[in-house]
Amino acid sequence: MSESSKRQFVDFTTVSLVVNDEARTIVVEPRTTLLDALRMELGLTGTKKACDRGECGACTVHIDGRRVLSCMTLAAMQAGKRIATIEGLERNGVFHPVQTGFIEHDGFQCGFCTSGQIMSAVAMIAEAKAGWPSAATDDIRRQFALRDLSKTEIRERMSGNLCRCACYPNIVDAVAEAVERG
């Protein structure tokens, strides 16, 4: 079946969203994941497609400030939302403190999980600043503060992001230093 004949059986939808602070409009088949739309429609290949089942975290992006697995999210459901990817994290040529921490602490080897790890870490720090406890929080009755973000807390909060190269100690050190830098 030719591509043009396939298109006649599939309804496409137009989705307007803001990606890395830039208004974008894409036309996608309704079952297209946000991951595939970012990579194939917008050319933002920093977000990685690894397991494609929501198990590894390599595809982590931020939707309206919250970390989300883009392989498990439909692009058509993101109309009007603000999407942040690894490509939009640095500002005016200056790396985010988490990116700097990853470089200084060698928080990656093959680099495949790195963008998802970094995006998850940035959101995790924001969650901690907002006072959200985790499964590792000692006393959930007490307001959680950023100063309570121990290495144990970081490990727990980053547990949804897998690293094939097992760089976990370096990743934790990178995130801990980013917290110190603010």
Q: Is 77 helix (H, G, I), strand (E, B) or coil?
A: helix
The pLDDT profile of the chain, 182 residues, written as one tens digit per residue, is: 555 555 566 789 999 999 999 999 999 999 999 999 999 999 999 999 999 999 999 999 999 999 999 999 999 999 999 999 999 999 999 999 999 999 999 998 898 999 999 999 999 999 999 999 999 999 999 999 999 999 999 999 999 999 999 999 999 999 999 999 87
Q: What is the DSSP string of 82-118?
A: EEE-GGGTSBTTB--HHHHHHHHTT--SS-TTHHHHH
The residue with tokens 């890395």 is: 20
Amino acid identity, position 71: C
Q: Which distant-in-sequence residues (6+ apart) come within 8 Å of 83 by Cβ?
A: 17, 18, 19, 20, 34, 38, 61, 62, 63
Q: What would the two tokens of residue 173 be?
A: 């050190």
Q: For every residue of 42-64, which 3-state class applies, written as one string?
A: CCCCCCCCCCCCCCCCCCEEEEC
Domains and CATH numbers, the chain: 11-88 (3.10.20.30), 97-181 (1.10.150.120)
Model confidence, pTM: 0.92
pLDDT of residue 108: 87
pLDDT of residue 28: 97
pLDDT of residue 109: 87
Q: Distance between CA atoms of 75 and 139, rounded to whole angstroms?
A: 38
pLDDT of residue 4: 59
